[in-house]
Structure 1
């Protein structure tokens, strides 16, 4: 039987010492790994790119689905995984759900991987 991963709250940006600063413990390694796993898919990388380069900073799921050439339900699944990892936030406005990249969460993840990456 496969080992179940523990459930952790990933809604807040990852916060731990950079992995290059000192060896990290299992809990911190799991937090980083789960966020990296969430973005480790070509469609999710493309969705993040579209959200990060959006002129108004947000996009609805239907437009994203058209731009990546996938169904809305598939894009919704991928956005859900990114949202669960705390990398995307979504807000309902009328009949639309608008999605935004959480730049603070991405910056925190970058800093944990390499504290010199964003300086």
Structure 2
């Protein structure tokens, strides 16, 4: 993929990213709680940093993507007990912080960790 310039990413954030991110976050959360549409919700969660600042999408197809991950059973139990509600709170707090200049770096950090908060999924690389 081509690297987007900082100027393009900043313009995107000012005109689109700050308001579209909460929409995507809450749509993803609503899809996640249906269980049937969970895969689509997870894909949207993985796109939150891209929606916020046009950051390059993360690759889930890397050969090392599953190395060091908790088992699927552990991740599923965590999601059912904690991840579904904590990710909603976490993502909305990140979206709120993103509209402030001071909070933007923290919001980006939080958005990048949203897959882990949701399902204990760790990105490598």
TM-score normalised to structure 2 length: 0.34
Larger RCO, structures 1/2 (Cα 8 Å, 6+ apart): 1
The structure with the larger Rg is 1
Hey, which of these two has a bigger chunk of helix by percent?
2
TM-score (norm 1): 0.35
